[in-house]
Amino acid sequence: MEGPASRPIESARGTTRPRLTPEDASAAFLLAVIALLPLAEGAGRLLGIGNLIPGSIPLVQHFTLLVAIVGGALAARDNRLLALSTATFVPERLKEPAKVVTGLIGVAVCTCLTYGAWTFAMVEREAGDIVAFGLPVWAFVFAMVPGFVVIGMRMAWKGPASLVGKLTAIAGAAIPLALGSWETLGELPILQFGIAALVGGALLGLPIFAVIGGMASLFFWYEYTPVTAVPLATYQLSGQPLLPAIPLFTFGGYILAEGGASRRLVRVFSAMVGWLPGGLAVTTALAFAFFTSFTGASGVTILSLGGLLLPVLVDSRYSRQFSLGLVTASGSIGLLFPPSLAVILYGVYSRTPIDELFLGGLLPGTLLVALVALWGVRHGRLAERRGRSFDLAEARRAVYEAKWELLLPVVVIGGIFGGIVTLVEAAAATVLYAFVVECFVYRDLSVRGRLPAVAAECATLIGGVLLILGVALGFTNYLIDAQVPDTALEWVQSHIESKYVFLLALNALLLVVGCMMDIFSAILVVVPLIAPMGEAYGIDPVHLGIIFLANLELGYLTPPVGMNLFLASYRFDEPLTRVYRSVLPFLLILLGGVLLITYVPALTLALVR
């Protein structure tokens, strides 16, 4: 999968950092606002003062919607909207026509979304509702109009190389106008043609948000539902109270990754376990798991820590193929640990208690990390130079140097589970903590230097993800209206009687979903389908959630289009076929772990129940 995860940090590094554009600055400002308001809210409550800023909660949620729009525009500007990696396999001579086709379809979808957002904004303007401080709801809704216009135009202009190709792509704006004349189109199979075009576009590199948004718009249109349905669902994101936690935790992870946290934490893990046979491989697995729990499955861990650890592994006589597989496989193994965004989002949309999901994920997550580490130990016994022993003094120095970063999980998790702060306040506190530690304690980041660029990079990633979440919510609404989950449940129950056969089929389905979709959109689209099935087969909802997330985690490594495979190929300049070979042993080992998690519920439920 390609997109914002392909180059999340690197543009902020080095000596030739580009100047921030007004768009970049506005994205950084929005992230700062949604971090500061929850901090003020939490501080007022803890000090017994009360609400310092009335209306701050809905304001933060609506500013998160603006982050989605501005970040999506930034991602379109840089050709970094999330898309399937299948476009990599398009022959060179067909790449330009493929870009024209995807640009044309993307413009058509954005035109539909623009018109729907305009119509919705005008309705809200008549209603006259207020968010806070006199700011009208319709203004936030209307922000989607220029947002979708800019995204569509950039998809057309940034894709094809030739002027003719660009103009052809822009002509896609006429497609919704033609579909508006449904009565004059006779009995043409418009629905079937539209589905085929969107699926084909996805394989050619059409951004996922355009694929899902196009599908939702097409189905609603075919059912004579107003075109406002999808923009309405996108706006509904602003009504999700936990939504701001996603950009905030990601921003905190970006600040840590861009600072010196990765170097300090690698030193800690190396001092603690690096002296063991295969200790460097264990260090790699632990460090990656720690970082992924904060950055999510966004590729930041592979791109930041991977560049640090791969050369060290090779220098320590690990084969390059093994080292490449270890770094690639470790890129998502911390996905089940708090404060993972995927766990939070799953809990919100499946209505499963988030604290129980985090407790349920501790043992399965530890199992997956242990499997990767043990395979590294087996390989490292033959590769690493022997003779090193545990150095207590070095371990103390490493822990002391990294003490502030090591305290972060304690502060965040303790605040959440202790009931001291809400999830969004904990996320905002993570940003503040990382900011203070990296900018003022260690001074690895400059407030006026790289930090604004890091914020813009984070907004670019978050914008691409939140755009998908918005349109995926619209698609989910259609599935529910059309009673697709009920129909799917009826079909499955009529063909599969055994609970264990259902679980095996679920594993296979989720592996395919995991390598084709990012985990956030998969949660919104797939969870409404499988949740009633899990209940019908008597599967505990916490267990089902961990099965879902563990399988999606494995999907990132599943050839031919698992996202981690393409990130590793890009980051380390290796052919995809070599990445496939390097990751295969880890894929098989982790598959065994996922099957254990699936068929041994006690791994998940022991700490919960």
Residue 387: pLDDT above 80? no
In angstroms, rounded to a whole number, what is the distance separating the alpha carbons of residues 377 and 318? 11
| pLDDT > 80? residue 358 | yes
Distance CA 191, CA 209 (A): 19
Residue 361 lies in a domain: no
Q: What is the pLDDT of residues 205-215, one digit of tens each?
A: 899 899 999 99
> What is the rounded distance in angstroms from the CA atom of residue 162 to the CA atom of residue 216?
31
Residue 12 has pLDDT above 70, yes or no: no
pLDDT of residue 558: 83
Model confidence over 48-94: pLDDT tens digits?
776 677 778 888 989 999 999 999 999 999 888 888 777 777 888 88
Dist CA 273 CA 277 (whole Å):
9
Provide the residue range defining the domain that includes 61: 4-13+20-163+180-239
Average predicted confidence (pLDDT) for the chain: 85
Token pair belonging to 562: 């698992």
**Is 533 a member of any domain?**
no
The answer to whether residue 210 sits within a structural domain is: yes
Query: Does 522 map to a domain?
Result: no
- Tell me which DSSP letter residue 180 carries: T
Residue type, 557: L
Q: What integer is the mean pLDDT of 459-481?
A: 86
For the segment 430-445, what is each residue's pLDDT rounded down to a tens digit?
999 999 999 999 888 8
What are the distances in angstroms from CA 593 to CA 17, 138, 156? 42, 49, 44
The pLDDT of 91-108, averaged and rounded, is: 92
In the prediction, which pLDDT does 69 show?
94
d(CA 76, CA 102): 13
Each residue of 143-156: pLDDT tens digit?
Answer: 999 999 999 999 99
Rounded distance between C-alpha atoms, residue 65 and residue 59, angstroms:
10
In a domain, 198, yes or no: yes
Beta bridge partners of residue 132, listed in sequence order = 135
In the chain, how many domains are there?
1
Which tens digits make up the pLDDT trace of 584-608? 999 999 999 999 999 999 999 999 8
DSSP state of 299: S
State the sign of the Cα–Cα–Cα–Cα dihedral 162, 166, 168, 169: positive
CA neighbor of 73 nearest in space, from 209, 199, 214, 172: 209
pLDDT tier for residue 165 given thresholds of 50, 70 and 90: very high
Specify whether the CB–CB gap between 271 and 391 falls below 8 A: yes
Helices (H), 298-353: 300-315, 320-329, 341-350
Task: Label residue 383 by pLDDT band (50, 70, 90).
Answer: low
Read off the tokens for 206: 């059409």
Q: What is the pLDDT of residue 503?
A: 93
pLDDT, position 3: 47
Token pair in block for residue 306: 């991977």
Find the range with the poorest average confidence among 100-109, 115-124, 509-518: 509-518
Q: Given this model, what pLDDT does residue 169 score? A: 92
In this prediction, residue 267 has a pLDDT band, given cuts at 50, 70 and 90, of: confident
Residue 155 within a domain = yes
> Would you say residue 196 lies in a domain?
yes
What one-letter code names the amino acid at 328?
Answer: T
- CA torsion through residues 378, 334, 453, 407, sign: negative
Q: How many CA atoms lie within 13 A of 457 on its CB side?
A: 27
Considering the entire predicted model, what is its pTM? 0.83
